[in-house]
A and B are shown apart, each in its own frame.
Chain A
């Protein structure tokens, strides 16, 4: 039973355009949502997060949007760069247990 889902296994975007990565969750008790980026043969690295009490958090080219009523969050990358090509994992934290649940990742390919 996967509580965090990333339904798009891959996404291809032209350099300079916007990349939108989506994530859905089922548990309304999640209090923090995070995005991680992973290059091949490396561990995931933290990218950006958002608290459940907010609906938007921006950090440079990266913006995360949270729609609690739809249990949906998205990561926007503008403008996309070839160096952004990686696998992006969505994660959610369960407050009472400090457990992190991860999606299966979306592989982003930014074409030059």
Chain B
């Protein structure tokens, strides 16, 4: 059983297109995240949702729009893709996503490698 699953794992597309990456977790966690691993390999937080409510929204272009239909799903939609959007996007979840929670251990999906040509 995959705890955090993302689809697709690989995505190659042209500049200007719109694409979505889906994420689902079966851990019963309250909080889900999107991270971007850039060319320098840093993992950077993009968004965080707790029980379908947006709680972290980092400085990302508004071409990126997360959607959480329920607490087990967090999808990422990207409009008008640019070359710089090429990266690996990781979905993650944690049991306690609010400030002051426990360790806040993150469970990651396998990543979705997006290549924009």
Contact = CB atoms under 8 A, between A and B. Distances in A.
A97 B111 CA distance: 24
A97 B103 contact: no
Contacts of B104: 32, 93, 98, 100
Interface stretch (B12-20, B42-50, B70-78, B79-87): B42-50
Contacts, number: 63
A89 B106 CA distance: 12
Contacts of B97: 98
Given A43-B4, A44-B43, A104-B42, A98 B101 contact: yes
A11 B4 CA distance: 29
Interface SS of B by simple majority = loop
Q: How large is the interface on B (under 10, 10 to 19, 20 to 34, 35 or more residues)?
A: 20 to 34
B47 to A, nearest CB: 11
B64 interface: no
A99 B56 contact: yes
Given A32-B104, A43-B108, A44-B108, A2 B42 contact: yes
Q: Which of A42, A96, A99 gathers most chain B CB within 10 Å?
A: A99
Contacts of B35: 102
A96 B55 CA distance: 12
A102 B110 contact: no
Given A95-B99, A97-B56, A98-B98, A49 B42 contact: no
Interface residues of A, number: 25
Given A89-B43, A98-B97, A99-B45, A43 B90 contact: yes
B109 interface: yes
A9 to B, nearest CB: 8
Contacts of B98: 98
B100 A95 contact: yes
Contacts of A44: 43, 90, 106, 108
Contacts of B44: 102
Given A41-B110, A44-B108, A100 B103 contact: no
Interface string A82-97: 0000000101010111
7 contacts: A41-B111, A43-B111, A46-B105, A46-B106, A49-B103, A95-B100, A102-B44
